[in-house]
Amino acid sequence: MTIASRLFAKHGLQATTIDTISSHCQIKKREFYTYFESKEALIRDILAEWISKSGKHLRMIPSFSFNAVIELQTYFTFIEDTLAMLNPTLIAELQNDYMEQWLRLSYFRDSEIFPFVVRNIERGLSENIYNPDLDKFLLTRLYYYQLQAVYHEKSLLHEMHRIFIHGIVNSKGLHFT
């Protein structure tokens, strides 16, 4: 799965064939089918593994972050590093051609990423390092829509994250940026 993940990330889902995967894994094409019933099954398993690992990572970030700003910066680095490894077409291909997997990813966003950002805002408010008049749900939705617009351009994504943090921290929180 690791080799296939790298191929999908680099070349996209459509451009990466079972023949290509088999060749890179140094197995015959028919051997591929002893492990996976189809390319979609492989994509499903890769995505399930990524979601599991990412969910664990998200749940660990607060425990090793000194405060909410550091926590959010750690999350942003995780997102930037993850998206930097992906071919820009991969997300669109998931959305258009692998709807079940896209829905799985959407569920992860709604059940793990959104609550993480909301909890981070709550933490920053309780630590008195975020502006007190923040609407945590509106900001979380705004973050997601901005992320969708710039995820494929690393420099824009990084700048969006910088602006997002500077838009929510107060003068006390600014010292941690």
pLDDT in tens, 74-123: 999 998 888 877 777 888 898 899 999 999 989 999 999 999 999 999 99
Intra-chain end-to-end CA distance of the chain, in Å: 37
What pLDDT shows up at residue 8? 87
Q: Residue 136 pLDDT > 90, yes or no?
A: yes
The mean pLDDT of 126-152, rounded to a whole number, is: 91
What pLDDT shows up at residue 21? 92
The mean pLDDT of 5-16, rounded to a whole number, is: 87
Enter the tokens of residue 55.
């969910």
The mean pLDDT of 10-37, rounded to a whole number, is: 90
Count of positions (residues) in the chain: 177
**What architecture is domain 44-174?**
Orthogonal Bundle (1.10)
Give the separation between CA 48 and CA 51, rounded to whole angstroms.
5
**What is the value of pTM for the model shown?**
0.85
Q: Residue 125 pLDDT > 90, yes or no?
A: yes
Query: Which residue has better confidence, 8 or 68?
Result: 68
Type of residue numbered 26:
Q
Average pLDDT value over all residues in the chain: 91
